[in-house]
Amino acid sequence: MVLRTLYNLCFAVALGLSAPYYFLRLVRRGDWRRDFGERFGRYGSRIKVAVTNRHVLWLHAVSVGEVNLCLQLIRALEPRVPNLKLVVSTTTTTGRGELEKRLPPHISAIYYPVDLRRCVSRALKTLHPEAVVLIEAEIWPNLLWSLRARRIPVFLVNARLSDKSYRRYRRFGFLFRPLFATFAGVSAQSEADARRLVELGCRPQAVHVVGSLKFEAARVEERPRLDTAALLRQIGVPEGAPILLGGSTHAGEEAVLAEVFQRLRPRFPDLFLVLVPRHFERGKQVGEVLAQRGLRFIYRREITAATRLPERALDALVVNTTGELKDFYREATVVFVGKSLTAAGGQNPIEPAALGRAVIFGPHMQNFAAIAEAFVREGGALQVRDAAGLEAAVAELLADPARRAQLGEAARRVVRTQAGALERTVEMIVAGIPRDENYVAPAP
């Protein structure tokens, strides 16, 4: 009880101090007023009517990346629990936008409540979930304490622990060990993740090594939402022109890519640069980086059905929208995966790999260490040390179509061999949900 009181006092102070910063981020992303009360567990009549007299399964996907995983999980899970009402929460406005665009209408999208005791209590009183599924989610103490008190099973899926997260949870083990012990089931991406999760307090029998759901989420058979080939023709990119794409880039990486592009353009006159920053609200900042270097560019949001530019009118495109990166990957010749050169952690390399693109990433792939290692080991991606290495790798791949094809086929092979995590995760969840009329036994 003392620990909870101390946590709630510290959290309230931290929330008060950081609120202006996070509020400014909400305003910059736009559409922050709609359903703002949901962030404090105040769900309106739309949600209350949807969950009344229903058995609810609550899934939480923090932002866009987790939303993509969640949608795959829902497709596989829903037929197995037909009597459960699925509700999906997210933390960000971009994540909420993706849910509303892609969820079936009978599945409700909400905002995740801030981890204040009253907010969490209000949310649980409205939803009354049978179980909760956290997808790569942060560990919020008040939610887990409240779920444990109500004897509601909670599952952590696609769990991985970066070195930074592992050190933080160990440092505050007095707080987190009892929380990790509450999980009814944990699907870990690797044996190393599983060992760390047990060290941090998870019950060994609750931890299952299933692989990464990100391999399942890279479904190339899904119909593209955007005809990127036609869009590139609209803005004057010649058919067959090589495309250098920076995906999920962070500050500093756009400048590196712009300079690489400018040095390679004389060798590859039709080369075109596409930059997709990880946070779309950085679009203006990315545009300024290009303008400072004299590059001609257009923002994705400026392109309409009426846009028609002459061939070679532009050097670059800045994609300041959300949910379109995968569609741009389809047209890329060489892909650089961001947050790996000038920032640390790395972004997901699986989607371009599943499409058979030639993938490059920098030295800092801590958040995808096992995945990155598998691609490099099997010849499905190139890892470079610095900007000079990036330029050399891009030049090599642009000049050698056979090398690009070899890299792309090896990448597809790695993705194929990692299949199965989704079904194993679903089995874990349905086995842990209370066995009543909600449960559908697996087919023999």
Least Cα distance to 375 among 351, 398, 400, 399 occurs for 351
Per the model's pLDDT, the better-predicted residue between 217 and 85 turns out to be 85
Residue 439 lies in a domain: no
Query: Which tens digit of pLDDT belongs to each residue from 336-392?
Result: 999 999 988 999 999 999 999 999 999 999 888 889 999 999 999 999 999 999 999
Q: Tell me the CATH number at 156.
A: 3.40.50.11720
Q: Give the integer Cα–Cα distance in Å for 247 and 318.
A: 11
Catalytically annotated residues:
66
* 219: pLDDT strictly greater than 70: no
pLDDT recorded at residue 398: 98
| Same-domain status, 159 and 285 | no
Is residue 220 predicted with pLDDT exceeding 80?
no
Say if 222 falls within a structural domain: no
How many domains does the structure of the chain reveal?
A: 2
- Report yes or no on 16 lying in a domain: no
Q: What is the pTM assigned to this prediction? A: 0.79
Are residues 130 and 185 located together in one domain of the fold?
A: yes
Give the model's confidence band at 194: pLDDT under 50 very low, under 70 low, under 90 confident, else very high: very high
User: Which pLDDT value is given to residue 214?
Assistant: 85
Residue 392 shares a structural domain with residue 249: yes
Average pLDDT over residues 168-175: 92
Whether 154 maps to a domain, the answer reads yes
Same structural domain for residues 260 and 356? yes
Residue 9 lies in a domain: no
**Has residue 316 got a pLDDT over 60?**
yes
107 and 128 share one domain: yes
Boundaries of domain holding 105: 34-212+420-432
Task: Retrieve residue 104's tokens.
Answer: 């079936």
- Do 277 and 152 share a structural domain? no
Q: Is the pLDDT of residue 443 over 60?
A: no
**pLDDT over 70, % of the chain:** 97
Q: Note the pLDDT of residue 439.
A: 40
Residue 442: per-residue pLDDT = 42
Note the pLDDT tens digit of each residue in 232-283. 999 999 999 999 999 999 999 999 999 999 999 999 999 999 999 999 889 9
142 shares a domain with 48: yes
In a domain, 270, yes or no: yes
427 plus 410 within the same structural domain: no
Q: For position 136, what pLDDT does the model report?
A: 87
Do 257 and 402 lie in one domain? The reply is yes
The pLDDT confidence band at residue 438, using thresholds 50, 70 and 90, is very low
Same domain, 269 and 280: yes
In this predicted model, which residue has the larger pLDDT, 51 or 438?
Answer: 51
Are 250 and 344 a contacting pair, CB within 8 Å? no
1 in any annotated domain: no
192 and 320, same domain (yes or no): no
Using H for helix, E for strand and C for coil, what is the string for the chain?
CHHHHHHHHHHHHHHHHHHHHHHHHHHHHCCCCCCHHHHHCCCCHHHHHHHCCCEEEEEEECCHHHHHHHHHHHHHHHHHCCCEEEEEEECCHHHHHHHHHHCCCCCEEEECCCCCHHHHHHHHHHHCEEEEEEECCCCCHHHHHHHHHCCCCEEEEEECCCHHHHHHHHHCHHHHHHHHCCCCEEEECCHHHHHHHHHCCCCHHHEEECCCHHHHHCCCCCCCCCCHHHHHHHCCCCCCCCEEEEEEECCCHHHHHHHHHHHHCCCCCCCEEEEEECCHHHHHHHHHHHHHCCCCEEEHHHCCCCCCCCCCCCCEEECCCCCCHHHHHCCCCEEEECCCCCCCCCCCCHHHHHCCCEEEECCCCHHHHHHHHHHHHCCCCEECCCHHHHHHHHHHHHHCHHHHHHHHHHHHHHHHHCCCHHHHHHHHHHHHCCCCCCCCCCCC
CATH of the domain at 339: 3.40.50.2000
Task: Note whether 295 and 380 are same-domain residues.
Answer: yes
